[in-house]
Structure 1
């Protein structure tokens, strides 16, 4: 995606954290800008080598992260009337949105999956996303029946003030098939009715199966 697309997505992330109003937000706070850069510090083992991007352009239909208790349908989302990413509505808080204007998971480039951290009344699909660690496995089911397996490389909390869109959406290494899972994080600002940061989990393709 180009620089214009980054700006659109930045605006989108600011918007879709603003609809949450009633849920008790006294969850563990995610503050600052943190990064777990490699798996060695958490597991004592190096992360696996990247797999070459998969051929074709197959949309995702589901995502599964066993370590985080995530198993969800993935639906394609575009831009709304304001030019922001049209994330799944809060009534579908257990659904993950795939930004159809970017890469498909498994193809070369950065594929983007977005989900709510909570709704008006309960935790949402990415409530546990901040617990991901380098080495966590993310499985994405694709429309052709294949499953693309990704390994988490970094977990970051990026403050919206001074937000760096290239850090959130740009490739970590050129030529790879990469995945971003993004939700709201930081502190819940009741006055603005939104979160102060975004949790950005970056992963890369390490396997595939049919």
Structure 2
């Protein structure tokens, strides 16, 4: 994506991509009934929690790594595009510990909504976002960037959205104009072994609240 593209254009591309993503993205391998945690079916809001003020957006820079201390995630980030069916192409299953960043949209830390995707499981084991639904408002997500800066995001809410009634604009559009926001997405809800897919998506919404190096 060109750095000269306007924030509005980036937002429209992101929403358009997620409309396609709804029918094309698969982030789970199979049901892991014998393992703790896993995809959930509820929503966690920030009610009663004092969240920090937003930090001003940063200059655009590519992400290298994402750290989520609360769920033990420390993973490399790789750029992903759209597949032949115009859906966001997640990392391959053999790279289940890798997080994909939709490189056609916003860079994390810049104004707009950056999108990270990751698998919840594979055929044999949990994947990088297996415990994503356990995140709570106020917890931190840290993204190391190519310009040697660290963008620190604070979780605002966690939603489990059923695919049959999915609203891409509500899920992935900016919550507040002018902020740098981040979405982390994986599969959730009930697993259907017949279609080998989950009934919902876990969507974590976070926003930039600090920086470091």
TM-score (norm 1): 0.89
1:203 aligns with 2:206: yes
Native 8 Å contact 2:13 2:105 kept in 1: no
RMSD of the TM alignment (CA)? Answer: 1.9
Shift of 1:80: 1.0
What secondary structure does 2:182 align onto? strand
**Conservation of the 8 A alpha-carbon contact between 2:39 and 2:131:** no
Partner of 2:52: 48
Which residue pairs with 1:6 in the alignment? 15
For residues 77-133 of structure 1, give each alpha carbon's deviation from its aligned partner in whole angstroms, at most 9, with x where no partner exists: 011111111110000010000001111010000000000000111000000100000
Distance in 2 separating the partners of 1:175 and 1:67:
27
The SS at the match of 1:161 is helix
Q: Compared with structure 1, are the counterparts of its residues 110 and 2 closer, same or farther at alpha carbon in structure 2 (3 Å cutoff)?
A: closer
Structure 1 residues not aligned, in runs of 5+: none
CA distance in 1 between counterparts of 2:44 and 2:28 reads 29
Give the CA deviation at 1:71.
0.5
Deviation at 1:186, TM superposition (A): 0.3
Partners in 1 of 2:151 and 2:88 — Cα distance? 24
Alignment map for 1:1-210 (pairs within 5 Å): 1=10, 5-17=14-26, 20-21=29-30, 24-25=32-33, 30-31=40-41, 34-38=42-46, 40=48, 45-54=49-58, 56-210=59-213
Q: Which runs of no fewer than 5 residues in structure 2 stay unpaired? A: 1-9
The 1:135–1:18 alpha-carbon spacing in structure 2 relative to 1, beyond 3 Å, is: closer
Q: Provide the TM-score with structure 2 as the length reference.
A: 0.88
Which secondary structure state, in structure 1, belongs to the residue aligned with residue 164 of structure 2? coil
- Is contact 1:11–1:84 with CA below 8 Å preserved after alignment? yes
